Structures are given as structure tokens and as C-alpha cells.
Amino acid sequence: MLIFVIMILVFFITVATVDIGDLILDFFIPILEFLAPFMPGKIFPKFFFEMEIGQQAFLAAMLVTLVSGFLGVFLLTRNLALIGDGLAHVSFGGVALAIVFSSTSPLYFALTLSIISAIIIYELQVREILSGDASIGIFLTGMLALGLVSLRIWGGGIQNDIEGYLFGNILLVDKESFNIICIISIFSIAFLIISRKILLISSIDPLAAQIQGIPVRASGLAFSIITAAAVVSMVQVMGALLVTALLVTPAATSQLISNSIRSSFIWAQVFGFSSVLLGLYYSSELETGSGSMIALIAAIIFGVVAIFQFGLKPLLYQSENLN
């Protein structure tokens, strides 16, 4: 837990003093420009590999995909698949309030509100005041309603940029948002790697972990905060209504074919990056929303893998035995 507190302090110091986004852009822009001639399509390579605003959006999508692959496996292991959906709706409420108050940094509002909500949801669950699903449901509907009502009364209704936060619009990723996404992604990955053994043990058997002296409650609270921050970083790419598609679907697909936690992590990354790359390609070429196309591709991949694993594979196995 001390490590997590130190990471939080470093996070806020980094946000205030270091522009990590520019460092990442400076490193990857030459690579993207080199790859541009080899990419298929007309709009996809020109926008995402040659234009700075597209390169920024593309790298943001890659970072949140990397985080979601690891985080999704942990969430499914802990039976918390719905927490991402709930916190995404909370983050939309934060974005709506930021717009109502004319804030230039809606992600900061969303991040603050999501972290507070994640802590309350976790405490309600741990103290057995409400079940996890009940508390998630209350915050999901309540904060979404707060955002919609606030916009209707004080914000002039749902505008195009608000639709982007609801359904995903990768063009919303500006320099400030990109910097926040980079910092959240780096700290989330660092936390998940450092705490992976504690998180896995406390997920599989919390009582045994507690007997062994593992800080189950503290690690669970830290995990909830990291989940809230990671979900906020995904909202601009996927949209509040579709975050679960990137957070859960690739991880769920990996569990169809994996026989260990390690292979689940690897396959979740494979399916996640496949969904995002194909989603960005088709959304740019067909001029559709990035979040909805990524969600659709992720669902199709899940369906194909499920059909192969539980339909075609048994048939092939039977035919081999007959021969």
C-alpha cells in the first residue's frame, strides 16, 4: 500500500510538471511516418500515421488498449466486469459537469468523480452494505442522469462533443487529454505489474490471502482507484457507453482459449489490439464513430473465436478420432 501511495504522489507531481505526451509523440512520430506507406486504405494511413492530430489519437488508442488488456483479465478474475461500465457512466457525469461549469479540462472532473465513486462502491461492497452489482447500478444510472439533466438545464443540451464522450470520438483527444492518458496508462501498467501476484491471490482466495498477511482490503481499494483512472482514459476513444467493449470483451475472448492467467494476458492483448486496429481502420475508411466500430469488431472476434472453440474444434477433433 505504501508503494501505491508513493505512486499517487508521483502521479500528481508528474501531471503538474512533466509533459509526457510530447516525449511519447517525439519518440513514436518517426516510426508512424515510416510505417505510413505500408498501411492499407486511403484515409487510415494519411490521418493516423502522417497527421499529428491523428498520430496523437492513434497512440492514445494504443495506450488504453494496452492497459485494458491487463486490467480486463483482473476484472474478470475478480467478477467485476460491470465496474468499468459503471465508472464510465460516472465519468460522463463528470464531463457533463465540467462543460456546465465551462471547464477547459473535462477529464480532470471525470477523473476526480470516478475515483471518489470507485472508493464509495468498494467500501459499500466490503462493508456488505450493498452488493457490488447494486452499488454499481446506482452510480451508473445516477451519474448518467446527473450529467444528462445538468446538460439539459444549464448546458444547452447534448452537443456534438458530448456525443463524442457518449459514443467515442477519437478526435476529442487533444494535447492535454493525450498527456493525461499517457500518465494514467503508464502508472496503471506499473501498478498492475508490481501488484500482479497480490491481486491474483486476493482475487482467487481473499480469505487465504488475508491469513497470509496480504493487505487484501488495501490492495482492493488501490485496484478500484486504478480501474477508475483507466476507465476515464478510455472514454474519449470508446465513449462512456462502450468502454466495456474494450475493457471486457478482449479479456473474455482470451478466456475462451487460455489455460492459464499468463496466456489470458497475452491473448487479451492480441484480441484488444486487433479490435482497435481494425476498428480504427474501418471507422476512418467508412467514416463511422471509432468507439462503435471498435466495439463491433471486438464482438465479432469474440463470436468467431467462440464458434471455432465450441463448434468447429470439437467437430475437427471427432473427425480426427474417427480416422
- H or E element in which residue 264 lies: helix 261-286
Asked which of 70-84, 165-179, 269-283 is least confident by mean pLDDT, the reply is 165-179
Apex 69 CA angle, 216 and 18, nearest 5:
85
**Rounded to two decimals, what is the model's pTM?**
0.86
* Cα–Cα distance, 286 to 293 (Å, whole number): 10
Query: pLDDT tens, 17-74?
Result: 567 888 899 999 999 999 999 999 889 999 999 998 899 999 999 999 999 999 999 9
Task: Say if CB 121 and CB 136 are below 8 A apart.
Answer: yes
Closest CA to 251 of 229, 236, 230: 230
Apex 128 CA angle, 122 and 129, nearest 5:
90
Local confidence band at 157 (pLDDT 50, 70, 90 cut-offs): low
* Cα–Cα distance, 267 to 11 (Å, whole number): 29
Domain boundaries, the chain: 2-241
Asked which of 28-32, 96-100, 119-123 is least confident by mean pLDDT, the reply is 96-100
* pLDDT of 10 above 70: no
- CA 184 from centroid of its chain's CA atoms: 11
Superfamily of domain 2-241, CATH level 4: ABC transporter involved in vitamin B12 uptake, BtuC (1.10.3470.10)
Closest CA to 133 of 93, 92, 78: 78
3-state secondary structure 43-67: HHHHHHHHCHHHHHHHHHHHHHHHH
Query: pLDDT tens, 266-321?
Result: 999 999 999 999 999 999 999 888 888 999 999 999 999 999 888 777 776 666 66
* Cα–Cα distance, 233 to 264 (Å, whole number): 23
